[in-house]
Every structure is written in structure tokens, then in C-alpha cells.
Amino acid sequence: MARNESNMIQKISSAFILGVVLFFTASLSAQPTVESGKTLFRNYCATCHDKTMTRDATGPSLAGAEERWSEFPREDLYGWIRNSQALIASGHPRAITLFKKWNSVMTAWPNLTDEDLESIILYINDASIAKTPIAGQGNRGSGAVEKSDNTVLYYGLFTLLGILSLILMRFIGSLNEIAAAQDGTSYERKSLLQKLTSKKFISFLIFVFVLIAGYNTVTRAINLGRQQNYAPEQPIKFSHETHAGLNKIDCQYCHDGARRSKHSLIPSTNTCMNCHKAITVGSKYGTQEISKIYASIGYDPNTSKYIENYEKMSDEDIKTIFKKWFATNYIQDKGQEAFIRKGEEAITGQWENMVTSLTNEQKKSVRGPIEWGRIHNLPDHVYFNHAQHVVVGKVECQTCHGKVEEMEVVHQFAPLSMGWCINCHRQTEVQFSNNEYYATYENYHEELAKGDRDGVTVEDIGGLECQKCHY
Amino acid sequence: MKNSQQGIWIGAKDLNRDEAFILEAQNEIQNPSLIDQLGNKQVAEGLESNRRDFLKYLGFGVGAATLAGCDIPVKRAIPYVIKPDEIVPGVATYYASTYMSGGDYCPVLVKTREGRPIKIEGNALSSITNGGTSARAQAHVLSLYDTNRYKKPQIISEQETKHVSWLDFDSAIKSVLKSSLATRIVTNTIMSPTAKKVIAEFTAAHPNTKVVTYDPVSSAAILEANAQSFGDRTIPDYRFDNANVIVSFNADFLGTWISPIEYANQYASKRKIKGVKNVKMSRHIQVESHMSMTGSNADNRILVKPSEQGVAIAYLYEQITGTNVSASSRLNSKAKAALSKVASQLKKSAGSSLVVSASNNVNEQVLVNAINTTLGNYGHTISFVHASNQRQGSEKEMTSLLAELKGGKVDTLIFMECNPLYNSSVAAEMTKAVEKVKNRIGLSYSKDETSSICNYIAPLHHGLESWGDVEAKRGIYSLIQPTISPLFDTRQGEESLLVWAGSGAYVAGFEQKYMNYLKNNWKASYFATQDKYLGFQSFWDSVLHDGVYNTVGYSTATDFRADLSAAARGISSPSSSELEVQFYEPVTVGNGQFGDNPWLQEMPDPVTRYTWGNFIAVPVNFDGEKSFKGLNNLVDGELVDVTVGDKTYRLPAIQQFGIMAGTVAIALGYGRSSGGFASKGIGKDVNGSLGSSNGMTQYFSDSVSVSNSKGKEDEYSSVQYHHTMGVTAIETKTGKTINADEAALAPGYGNVFQGFQGSLTERTVIRHTDLDHLEEAVDHLQHERAHHQKLNGHTLYPFGQYSDEKYSQGHHWGLHVDLNACIGCGACTIACMAENNVPVVGKSKVSIHQEMAWLRIDRYFYGDVENPNTVYQPLMCQHCDNAPCENVCPVNATNHSSEGLNQMAYNRCVGTRYCANNCPYKVRRYNWSDYTTADIFPANQVEVNGEETPYGADNLTRMVLNPDVTVRSRGVIEKCSFCVQRIQEGKLTAKSEQRRLQDEDVKTACQTSCPTGAITFGDRNNKKGELYEKFHSPLNYIVLEEVNVQSSVQYTMKVNNRDKTLDA
């Protein structure tokens, strides 16, 4: 609390400066929508094709697929996707080449429409061009919510109104001149420059500037310390999309604190091992990321055994184990020849990546706990309890965390502001009827029975009071 | 009752009704100027700034602000690698263990969060304490994070300290022991049977070893007397719950004597009152010289001089047995008259009475045994079957050790977790004599007088890092288990001894070696004493889970036999000296053992309410008029020179009611010359002035003189007159009695409001009566309450109109305090500090009314001014449903919840302190400084006891903080929250289990800590709950009900069982 307070003054003043400086620099970023293509890809293609479009999986990598088919009519590509066997049977030259190369055929998807296929192609192109999202705060372009941008329209309108007012000014000037001529009085017509440098206009400008800068300062000060869309770089490129989305692992399988503690808890390494004892190579990063789990807990993937006395093992020995593992997989993947050419460089790179991810100033060894970047940070004076919301309130995880199962890199979905909390407490109904605890709210039960009341919100049982969250 | 006062009073100042007192009340929340606060001219000058500074700070501020605005630091979330099954981060885990320090004992549950102990609760399964705790047990957790701890083994030679590994240390010690011709182990009472076995192994391996046991405050006379009378050198099992008449000769059995938690629990069971008719309660008569905590709870106190204790016992013996031992001529007549009446009462309650004495004279204790035998109390209120092991020390052993030391016969001294160079009977001489000892090995926890002369320091685990077992009473065991991995490179004392003994039973390979040893011992010794479990492991698991294990006791006591005439001759004879001094063990810091604990240092002494140090309690002389002067006309806070024997101490004086004329009293345990920064140099060490008779320490002296005032103490840190409610004073101008608080608020208009509703002069803070007038008093109470309630209804917004609608459903929290059960021990105040992260502020801040305790125990006197009765009133935020504090907050930082809680939102508070000003109970506390260094500006930090950082500001001490409670920063108000974090936790448990909330779900920290069960918290709407029943007792009252704040805390009227015939 105190930290916040002391920082507050600094932050408000900095917000003012920022508010002034950043006033006119509105962001102009806009993204094309590839949403339907993404969904279709996920439903139909992702089982066999690599999501990043860069690697061959069960099926070939799809980056550049459109270009590779460009010498044939578009219909051929559609047909290839809908029913590849038919195209092979028809003797299409590219179809036959591909069949020879891969020696297998793709499942037929006759129900996909041309529009669907265009969306998928659009998505494939987009995904192959798009880089991995830049880690850092407030910088996520492709968030879950995509808004159409009206900035251009506003600028247009602004300019239009400006021109209009200039015309009107001229018009009024002319009218004044005519009126003066009729009255016989002299009228000195002011030039545009005179008008723009008049006291009136300048004070008007200052007024507008103060108004807008003040508004900006206040809104920015309110938002200080809030981290919506925050997505820090994590030591392991863990994909919730793969785990929760594709493989449909229940959130609370790993975040087992959510049902019994205030914290949802980042799973301990031994929880990861429940699955990753079997799954040793990832679909996307191969051995690179999963090996970090092994390094943390002390599991030798070469022998599929836990390493004894791992805590006493020297860094050099650990390095040997994992380099061996990287090498084995490299050879499997790219062949002996490639390994001889640039294998050493690759596996050293992999090891160095592991060291950078798992160590820091305090933690010198790759052994031991993985230090994740904490995404959801509440101020110290806020008490939040997961169990209360998940078990008692039966709130879905996604309500506050967004569609995590679709996030490759998790970001903070909700603003986690007090207004946001309060609003939910106002709207959410308590699981009132089948919990004996609430039997003590006799009046509400009576009213419910009589039909005088539709439901009981969190607010009704005191959910907006200070000491429900601050103590 | 002559000299009887109508009302209640706090102290002499209050009775004198000085107008100066109004001034003090005016400064109820003192706000000295910054310069005064810093007390340092240099700093003050440094604070003056000029234009250049302004520009510098502005520039820095703008720059820093811009930077701070740009980046938000990445916070780390670090999960376990392999998560232990029993730990869920964010959920507290409780372990059963035992708090033990020498003979201090309390079975506890240790609350740990994320692997660190943060709070201690009593273990309700214990048949000794029934879940009660003491202030010391509560504060135990803080000492784990003591910055004064030894962190590594060290060998000290020729002014050079070498930190070595345990391996090197052990080989050094082993070679020392090998060549040692005479080794002595000095220790406090050891209650652990396994530790005794360890020592036996050590002694077997090093046959020229002897063990010397002493207690910081000796009870050796009881042990010796029982050895003489019954052939059983032990402390018997006293049962205060079976006694209808209790006579205690200077035994502070509720505060410090032998097993205070146990006795308090038993005592209170006979003091609680249910209903109005046919009420029975025990009668407690205390024969003493100064007012001890136990004495303050007594119905009658018989005052004798310290040196008269012996004859008082002998006189009672005479009266009970009819044997003349010529005691009557030597005792003061008042005491004599009273004691003869006490004797007849005892005889009437033969078999259900109990006489105890803290005397350290064997003959006097033999007489006490004779009295109890004649009364037939053995087998009823005293037994040997579950005799206590809580005191085993022998001064004779210490004296002979001293002789050996002086003769240079000892090569090696091992100090086992004790500080004999400070608190043994031979401390001063021993300090000189140990220089002759070649090897001084300290099994020490932290730096103290003893360890600082050691040349080998084997640092110890804290109790919460150790394994162990305790047999506090015969056949009643409890286990100690670690609740945290050792913080430093330390080792248990037992383990060290085993290593040095080269024990075969000590298997080095085990991760927890002493646990292994302990388990083996339990398998061999106790597994066979039960038939519930077939396998040892399940037996062990169950004992470890419960923390306690009871089996049958045994007694080797024979029938009473004694040479009583010889005993009567051997009692101490009354001195003719005009002034005597009584030394006593304070409830807080013991005889120095707990001095390093800032919580205990800042806890007010129950009776005088002095913090941080000792003082001289002087009797109050009553001149029949309205003048109450202390000895030598001393008033509170004046420094005096006290000369005892050849030593002079300068101490602040406190005018103490209920002290025998010609007696002064000084607490032991202060004035540590070597210790942590909480204890070093605080108060004065009077251990050097203790008397001795037949080799037994006597805790009084008749060679004492007290000087006149030598000026005021600068930092007089008594909280006696802080946060008062409705004390009165005489206005000089009019000569009328006015309310001091009110006068402070509206100078000159103090008595304008007299007689009106809400008049503050006749405030109903305390309601009391005696047992004989209970029915009338309850009638009167009911009548008065009805009257108040009627008047309270005459407002524009009568409470009744909206309370039903507001609080008729859901929860409506309330708290009940039974003033008859409250003994003032202060366990709740420490529990509150631990639970709610209440900061320690230090002596200087206490002296300017800035103590932060959310829960204070007010002490009031009533009745006879020369020998008053006392009532303790725990006072916390009353959670008024019509709260005056809420209405005056300009930012609505304090407001009311639908569950009747007076909420405090710290992050909303701007620090106007209007609420504290408007609170009639004065329970709101303001953070004047940054006590936890949550604030970054060093100028805002408070200096405590000369150290640079305040208590609780370093990262080690901060580990004790409760993560569920916000740490408050400078500039906000705080107060009791009814442990809202516990309420919310309890509600959540009930909700997730889909059932109604029960009493067990929510218990406040003060409630669980109380050894007597005086505090009950609960839901007023739960008609089946304990609180509902207690709230409907006819004895209940609400403090200041007439001011219509509708508080949620109710008190039971204090009822004493005073025998007025004894006053005559």
C-alpha cells in the first residue's frame, strides 16, 4: 500500500507530463480480421499442420502454400484441400508430386465452402507473416478483442469542420462588411492571421488545451499501475493454446489452488512431469522448451529417469546431459549430415537459451524452481480469493482471464481495476438457492418465495463493502 | 470500608483531580513538533530547506516520476519444484508443537503460511492449558525472527572471533572435552525426558561431568519442603478449580508462578457467573506486599511487609492447627485480625481449600504443607500423581558450582540455553569466577551476558525449528516439532551434546537426526504405555498430530512428616527496618529471558501499565482529604535513587495503590548489559540486590532507602493515562468536578452538559458489585440500562427503527468480555499484535501516547483506597452500529458494513484523525511514523531505542507479518477489525462446505489466546450460538451505553466475593 502511495505522487506528475506530450500521438494500428480462418484452421487443420506454419508436422508446413499453387487455377487448390485423393486420382501434376513426396493423403473436408477456404488461406498467410508477439506491457496488437478503428474518420471530420468554420468566418466577415457598408460605418476586415493571433482565439486554444490535457492526465493517472494486456516474457514459451485449447486440459488440473486457496497457483514442476514424462518433444519448439522442465526438476530425458543427487550435480554435468539430448533430437530431426555441419552451433544455442531463461542474478543454476513472470498483480491492500469465486461463486475462469485456451502467450485480459470488480459484484447473482450457508438470509428467501425478488446479487449480501476486500 | 471511593479510579493523578490532568487529557493524541520528535538539533537544522534545495528536489522529483511512470517492474511468481502435499500456498497449515522456555510451558498450534510460522494458538487438546496461552507463548513466534540470534558456530580466542563449520567446531569441542578433568553443564529446568536421556549419555561418555540446574526465579524451597515433608522433591499438582477458598502468600499464580496458564484456566472456572440467584464463586485471598497481577484479581488482599511473609504463614498455621509457634506477636495487627478470620473460613472449606506460597524459605513452605495437610487438601486440591516438572532448579547446586569455579576446579563449563551470569542467584560472583575456567561453551540462542564470555558458541535452533518432547506434569506429555527449516546454520542443544558424546544412538545419516533419536526413545519408553495403536508409526503420528499424549501419573509421596517446631523457628523474622523492597518477576519479560522480545517489552505491565523498563512502585499515602501522595511525595514518573544494600539504581517512581506502607517494589529482568537492541540498557538490573537465607534466594530486602525526586523521567512510558474515558478532575475556577476528557474538548464548558443525556461525568465504564449485593446490583443495572435505552430512543433517528431491517438477516457480529474471567494477563494484546501486524513503536513513542496496540487492557481500581479491588477491562473497537467516528470522516474511509462491522479502509484514509477525536472509547490509532519502512523516505522512519531501523523493519523480522493483513503505512488510522480476515475465512469455509456458519468457524485472535475463556466472539443472529446466550445474561452492560453509539461489545458486570469482615 505504502509503495503505491509514495509512487502515486510521482506517477500522477509523470502522467501529467506524459499526458501533455502524448496528447496528439494517438495510435493508428489496425489489423485485418482473420478470425474465422483461425477458427477453421484450429478445427480442421491444426491436428496435422503446424500452427506457426513454419515446420513440417504430420502434414507439411503451410507457409507459402498459396504461392506454390499459384500456377494452377484456384479451383485446384480448393479441390486439393476438400478432397486430395480425388485430385491425385485425376492425375493433377502437383497433386501427384506431393503424394510422392509425402506418401500419404489428407482427410477429405467436402463441407468446406470456398469462403471458408479463402479464410483459411488468409489466416495461413497472416500467421506465416506475423511475428511472435512482442513481449512487454501494453503492446499487444492481436488481442482477443479486435475493434474497428475510426481514427481516420475522426480526422476527416475534424478537417471538414475546420474548413467549414473557416468558410463561415469568411462568410460572417463579408456579412459584417456589408452590414457596416449599409450603416455607413467603417469596418476593418481582419485577416485570418489576425484572427488566429487574437486574444480570444488564443485563450480559446489554451482553454481547449487545458481541458484535453487535464482529461488525459486524469485518465492516465487512473490507469497507472494497471496492466491490462500485460504479457511479460516468460522463461518457458508455454502455450495455453496448446494445453488448454488443443489438448483441452482442465484449468484446475494445473492451477489446483483455485479451488482451495486464495492463489490459483502456478503448477509446480512435478505437475508438468505428469504429462511431460511421456511427451518429450513439443510440436512447436521441439526439445527447446520442454527440456527446461527437466532441467528444473532433474530428469534425464536420455535415460527417461530422474537424476539422483541432482541438487549436488555440477553445472557442467547438467550441460552434458542436455546437450546430449539436444543432439540426439537434432540428428533425428535433421539427419546426421546436418548435425555435422551446424549441429554443434544449434545445440549450444539451445543450451544457452535454457541458461538465459532459467537463471538470473539470484538464481545461478538451471536447477530448481522456474521463475515465471507474474501477470496478474493486485495491489497489496487488496484481498482476492480464488476459491471464493471458483468454488462458491462458480465463476468461470474465462470471465476474468479471457479465453486463455486461445492465447498462445497469456496476457492480462481484465483491467483488474476496482470499478471492474465492483461492477461484476453488482451484476452477478449469488448461488443462493442450493447453498445452506445462505439460509441465514431469511428475508431474501422470503422475498424470493413471494416473487418480490428475482435474485440476490453479490451487492445485496454486502459485496460492495470495503472490508470484503480491503483489510 | 472506610476511605471508600464512590467510583472507579485509574491512579493517584485521577484521585487527586489535578487540573494539570486536564492538560494531559487534552493531549490524548500528542502531536509534538517535528523538532521535538526528532529530538536532534542537527536533524532539525538539516530539515530547513532553501530555494536551491527546492529546485533540486523538484528536478529529482520530475525525473524520478517520469522514470517511475514508464516501467512497471516484473514481479516473479515462483512455484515449487516438487510441491509438498500438505502445503497449499495461500492456505495456512497448523502444526501441533509446544512452547517451552525453561519451566514455561504451553502446548501450541503453530500457524504457518508458505512455510513460515506467523502465529501461535493454544492447543485445545491439552489437559493442562485447555487451549489457553500466555503473552510469552504468543510472543514466542517473534523471537524466531530475532536479529540478535547467533547465526553460525564460532570460536573466540584472543579478541578474535572465527566463524567455523560445525565439523571443525565439533572436533575442537571433542578435543576440549577429552582433556577436560571436570565438566559442568549449567541449565535451566529441563522438562524433556529425551533431553535428560541425552544428558545421561553425555555424562556417561564424559564421566567427570555434572549437571547444575537453576531457575531464573527460584522455587527451590517448595521442592526442598516437599522432599522433607513427603519424600518427593517436586512441585505438586495444584487444582485451583477444586478450591472454594484460595489463600496465596505472595504467589503470582495467574501471572508468573510455576504454571500460570493452567492455574488461570482452573481459577476462572470458579469465578465465572451465570445467572443471578444462588451464585457460587470461589474466594481468593492474597497475602502480599505489593500488588501483583494475581493480587489484583483477589477478593481480599492482606497486606504484610515482605519480611513478614514468614510470620504470616506461621500465624495462619497457628490458627489452623492450634499449635502455638509464637508468631502472633511479630505480625502486624491488621493482618493478624484478617488471617484469623481467613483461618476459620479455611476450616469451613477443609478439603476444598488451597494455600499456596511463593516463599523461597524451606521452613515456610513446610508450614504451608502442614496447613494444607491439616485442612485435608491433599488428594482434593493438591496431589502428587500428576506432579509438575516445571521447576527443578536448585540454588545449592549453583552455590557449590560457584565454590568449584572459585577453586579453579572446573575446566569446562557448558551453558545450555540459560543465562546464569545475569539471572542466577550467584550471577555477580560467577561472572568473576568463570574467568578461571579454560573452556566456556555456550549453547546459546542469542547474545546475552553469559554467551558474551564464552569462547565457544554453539548456536541453537529456535523452539519452532527444533524437535523435542516435554513432560510438564507426570504422565502428561507433549511433543515439539519444527515448523520451519532452520533459518541459520544452527543446531539443537541436544544434538550437539549427542555429537560431543559420540553417541552410537545418534545416526549421522538421517536428515533429521534428533527426530530419529526422539522417535527411538518414544518407541522404547512410551509406545508400551498405550494399547490404542498396534504399530509404533501410527502411535507416533497420532501423538505428533495431537501434540499431546496423556498416560497415567504416579506418586512416590509418603505421608506428611516434618519437624514443625524446627520449621517454625526457621522462618524469616520480620525486620524492624522502616522501608523494605519486594523484588518480583514481571509478567512480561520474566527474569530477563524474554527481554529481547519487543512485543513483550511494549506490553504494559498489567497493574502499573508501564512499558519498556522497570520502575519503583511506591505506596500511596492517603491523608483523609483529597490528597494522595506517594512515598516522599513522589508522583508518577519522577526519577529517584533507590539504594539497596550497597547498590544504587535510578528508576522512575509510580504511585501504586495496594502496597503495604513502608514497602516499595521493583521488577527483575531489566537492565541487561548484553543483549539484543530490545533489551540492552532498558531499565535497571536489580538481581544483584537479592537477599539470601540458608542458601536460598530471598526476593526482598530490608536495607533500602529511597531518595527524593531527582526530576522527571524524559520518556515516561506508562500508558496509564493514555486513551482515557471519562476520568474526572476538579476545575480550579469553580471547584466542581468535571470530566477531564470533555473539558479537554471544550475548554471552559466542561460542566455545561452535566445531567443531560450523554453527560460525560458519570460515565458507565465499569459496573461492579460484590456477590452479596448481586441481585440488587443487577436490578439497578437493568433499570439504568432501560433508562438509557429509553433516552436513546428520543432522537430523530431512533436506532430501533432501522436496525431490524439492517441486521435482521445474515450476520451481525458481536463480542462479549467476561470481566469476571479476565485476569489482565495480556495474552490477547500480544495475540492481536501478531495477528494484525500491529507495529512496535518503542519507548519514546509510547511516552508521547503513540502506542499502536489495537487492544488495550484498562485497569481500574475501586473500593478502599488503601487496599482497593481491581478490575481489568480489555478494550478494543466496539464496532458501534451508530458510530460517531463514521460520521466525521470526510472521505468515508471508515464506514459500516451490513454485518455490523465498523470498517476501516486504509488506502482511502487521508489522516485527518477526526475519527480518533470523535471516538468515545479512544480505540483508534494513528500511524505517526513509518514503523515498517513501507515508506521510502528515511525522514519518515522512526528511530527506536537508538537503532537506525525500527523494530519490524528488517527483512528477518518482517517474516512474522500476517500476509492476509495489510501493513499500514504512515499517515493512516487503524483499529481493531474484529479480525475481519478470520471472519472472511470462516465464512468462506462454511460457504464452500455449503452449511451454516458455526461458532467454531470464526474465532478472533484475542479469543483464542485467552487462558480463561473471557472473550467470546460470534454472530448475534445465530440463536444457537454461544454469543447469543452470553449476550442475554442479565449481568451484561455496554460501556457508555448512554451516549447511544450502539456498540457491539458487551461486558459482564465485575463481581467480587470480598469478605468485608476482613477489612475491619
- Other C-beta atoms closer than 10 Å to the C-beta of B908 total 17
Contact B738, B745 (CB under 8 A): no
Task: Give the residue-averaged pLDDT of A400-412.
Answer: 92
Q: What is the pLDDT, as a whole number, of residue B84?
A: 87
Q: What is the pLDDT, as a whole number, of residue A145?
A: 43
How far is B788 from B762, CA to CA, in rounded Å? 13
Q: What is the pLDDT, as a whole number, of residue A137?
A: 38
Nine cell digits for residue B420: 546464569
For chain A, give the percent of residues with pLDDT over 70. Answer: 87
Sorting pLDDT into bands at 50, 70 and 90, what band is B681?
confident
Nine cell digits for residue B623: 491523608
Helix B513-525 with B536-546: angle, nearest 10 deg: 110
Task: Give the residue-averaged pLDDT of A226-250.
Answer: 90
Q: Residue A211 pLDDT > 90, yes or no?
A: yes
Nearest to B83 among A2, A270, A368 (CB): A270
Chain B nearest CA to A293, separation (Å): 9
Q: Residue B242 pLDDT > 90, yes or no?
A: yes
Q: Using a CB-CB distance cutoff of 8 angstroms, which residues of chain B are in contact with residue A435? A: 991, 994
Task: Give the residue-averaged pLDDT of B1037-1059.
Answer: 91
**Residue B415 Cα distances to B217, B400, B440, B457, B497, angstroms:** 17, 16, 8, 10, 11
Q: What is the pLDDT, as a whole number, of residue B20?
A: 64
Q: Using a CB-CB distance cutoff of 8 angstroms, which residues of chain A are in contact with residue B1021? A: 440
DSSP B466: -
What is the tally of helices (H) and strands (E) in chain B? 32, 45
Q: What is the pLDDT, as a whole number, of residue A66?
A: 81
To which H or E segment does residue B871 belong?
Answer: strand B869-875
For cell 486430395, the residue is A84
Chain A nearest CA to B889, separation (Å): 14
Task: Please indicate whether, in this complex, the C-beta atoms of B810 and A461 are within 8 angstroms of each other.
Answer: yes
pLDDT in tens, B705-715: 999 988 888 88
Q: What is the pLDDT, as a whole number, of residue B965?
A: 93
B548-561 in b/e form (b: 16+ CB < 10 A) is bbbeeeebebeebe
Task: Give the residue-averaged pLDDT of B433-448.
Answer: 91
Instruction: Give me the phi and psi of A98, to 5 degrees please.
Output: -65, -40
What ipTM is given for this predicted complex? 0.85
Nearest CA in chain B to A380: B966
Task: Please indicate whether, in this complex, the C-beta atoms of A268 and B81 are within 8 angstroms of each other.
Answer: yes
Q: Using a CB-CB distance cutoff of 8 angstroms, which residues of chain B are in contact with residue A263? A: 89-90
Cβ within 8 Å of residue A291, ≥6 positions away: A301, A322, A325, A326, A350, A354
Nearest CA in chain A to B72: A225
Mean pLDDT of chain B: 87
Question: Hey, is the C-beta of A385 within 8 angstroms of any chain B C-beta?
Answer: yes
Q: Residue A274 pLDDT > 80, yes or no?
A: yes
Sorting pLDDT into bands at 50, 70 and 90, what band is B732?
low
Task: Please indicate whether, in this complex, the C-beta atoms of B78 and A371 are within 8 angstroms of each other.
Answer: yes
Nine cell digits for residue B939: 525522514
What is the tally of helices (H) and strands (E) in chain A? 19, 3
Task: Give the residue-averaged pLDDT of B652-676.
Answer: 91
How far is B359 from B696, CA to CA, in rounded Å? 10
Task: Please indicate whether, in this complex, the C-beta atoms of B994 and A437 are within 8 angstroms of each other.
Answer: yes
Q: Residue B537 pLDDT > 80, yes or no?
A: yes
Nearest to B994 among A383, A435, A462 (CB): A435
Selected residue of B60, B85, B88, B894 to mutate for chain A interface (largest A Cβ count, 10 A): B88
Task: Give the residue-averaged pLDDT of B683-708.
Answer: 90
Helix H, strand E, coil C: the string for B83-102 is CCCCCCCCCCEEEEEEEEEC
Q: Residue B680 pLDDT > 70, yes or no?
A: yes
Task: Please indicate whether, in this complex, the C-beta atoms of B809 and A440 are within 8 angstroms of each other.
Answer: yes
Q: Which of A 14-43 lie inside 8 A of B, CB atoms?
A: 14-15, 17-18
Q: Using a CB-CB distance cutoff of 8 angstroms, which residues of chain B are in contact with residue A1? A: 906-907, 934, 966-969
Q: Using a CB-CB distance cutoff of 8 angstroms, which residues of chain B are in contact with residue A18? A: 66, 69
Task: Give the residue-averaged pLDDT of B371-398.
Answer: 92
Q: Residue B336 pLDDT > 80, yes or no?
A: yes
3-state secondary structure (DSSP) of residue A202: helix
Nearest CA in chain B to A439: B996
Q: What is the pLDDT, as a whole number, of residue A43?
A: 74
Contact B478, B178 (CB under 8 A): no
Q: Residue B767 pLDDT > 60, yes or no?
A: yes
Question: Hey, is the C-beta of A4 within 8 angstroms of any chain B C-beta?
Answer: yes
Task: Please indicate whether, in this complex, the C-beta atoms of A137 and B72 are within 8 angstroms of each other.
Answer: yes
How far is B249 from B246, CA to CA, in rounded Å? 10
pLDDT in tens, A146-198: 455 778 899 999 999 999 988 898 888 888 888 888 888 777 777 778 888 88
Angle (CA) A322-A326-A331 rounded to 5° is 150
pLDDT in tens, B246-283: 999 999 999 999 999 999 999 999 999 888 888 899 99
Task: Please indicate whether, in this complex, the C-beta atoms of B935 and A269 are within 8 angstroms of each other.
Answer: no
Q: Using a CB-CB distance cutoff of 8 angstroms, which residues of chain A are in contact with residue B970? A: 2
Q: Using a CB-CB distance cutoff of 8 angstroms, which residues of chain B are in contact with residue A380? A: 966-967
Q: What is the pLDDT, as a whole number, of residue B67?
A: 57
Q: What is the pLDDT, as a whole number, of residue B42?
A: 45
Question: Hey, is the C-beta of A104 within 8 angstroms of any chain B C-beta?
Answer: no
Which of A84-98, A243-257, B485-499 is the least confident region? A84-98
Task: Please indicate whether, in this complex, the C-beta atoms of B980 and A262 are within 8 angstroms of each other.
Answer: no
Q: What is the pLDDT, as a whole number, of residue B11?
A: 79
Contact B774, B279 (CB under 8 A): yes
Task: Please indicate whether, in this complex, the C-beta atoms of A372 and B76 are within 8 angstroms of each other.
Answer: yes
For cell 474465462, the residue is A398
Q: Residue B206 pLDDT > 80, yes or no?
A: yes
Q: Residue B382 pLDDT > 90, yes or no?
A: yes
Q: What is the pLDDT, as a whole number, of residue A57?
A: 67
Contact B74, A245 (CB under 8 A): no
pLDDT in tens, B163-197: 999 999 999 999 999 988 999 999 999 999 999 99
Instruction: Please say whether the dihedral angle defined by the alpha carbons of residues B1002, B1007, B1011 and B1012, taken in this order, is positive or negative.
Output: negative
Contact B624, B661 (CB under 8 A): no
Q: What is the pLDDT, as a whole number, of residue B93?
A: 93
Task: Please indicate whether, in this complex, the C-beta atoms of A2 and B935 are within 8 angstroms of each other.
Answer: yes
How far is A417 from A415, CA to CA, in rounded Å? 5
Count CA atoms closer than 13 A to B160's CA, side-chain side. 4
pLDDT: which is higher, B8 or B646? B646
> Is the overall model pTM greater than 0.90, yes or no?
no
How far is B505 from B501, CA to CA, in rounded Å? 10
Q: What is the pLDDT, as a whole number, of residue B17?
A: 64
How far is B652 from A61, CA to CA, in rounded Å? 88
The β-bridge relationship of strands B183-187 and B209-213 is: parallel
For chain B, give the percent of residues with pLDDT over 90. Answer: 61
Q: Using a CB-CB distance cutoff of 8 angstroms, which residues of chain B are in contact with residue A262? A: 90-91
Task: Please indicate whether, in this complex, the C-beta atoms of A467 and B808 are within 8 angstroms of each other.
Answer: no
Q: What is the pLDDT, as a whole number, of residue B937?
A: 60
Chain B nearest CA to A215, separation (Å): 17
Task: Please indicate whether, in this complex, the C-beta atoms of B89 and A261 are within 8 angstroms of each other.
Answer: yes
Q: Residue A130 pLDDT > 70, yes or no?
A: no
Task: Please indicate whether, in this complex, the C-beta atoms of B82 and A227 are within 8 angstroms of each other.
Answer: no
Q: Which of A 406-435 lie inside 8 A of B, CB atoms?
A: 434-435
Q: What is the pLDDT, as a whole number, of residue B590?
A: 92
Task: Give the residue-averaged pLDDT of A8-24.
Answer: 47
Task: Please indicate whether, in this complex, the C-beta atoms of A372 and B965 are within 8 angstroms of each other.
Answer: no
Segment A356-362 long-range contacts (CB within 8 Å, at least 24 positions apart): A357/A235, A357/A236, A357/A292, A358/A235, A358/A292, A358/A295, A358/A296
Chain A nearest CA to B496, separation (Å): 26
Q: Residue B120 pLDDT > 90, yes or no?
A: yes
Which of A253-267, B27-41, B353-367, B408-422 is the least confident region? B27-41
Task: Please indicate whether, in this complex, the C-beta atoms of B76 and A373 are within 8 angstroms of each other.
Answer: yes
For chain B, give the percent of residues with pLDDT over 70. Answer: 89
| A9-23, A340-354, B887-901 — most confident range | B887-901
Nine cell digits for residue A38: 483461425
Q: What is the pLDDT, as a whole number, of residue A83?
A: 83
pLDDT in tens, B816-838: 999 999 999 999 999 999 999 99
Nearest CA in chain B to A371: B78
Taken as a whole, chain A contains a residue count of: 471
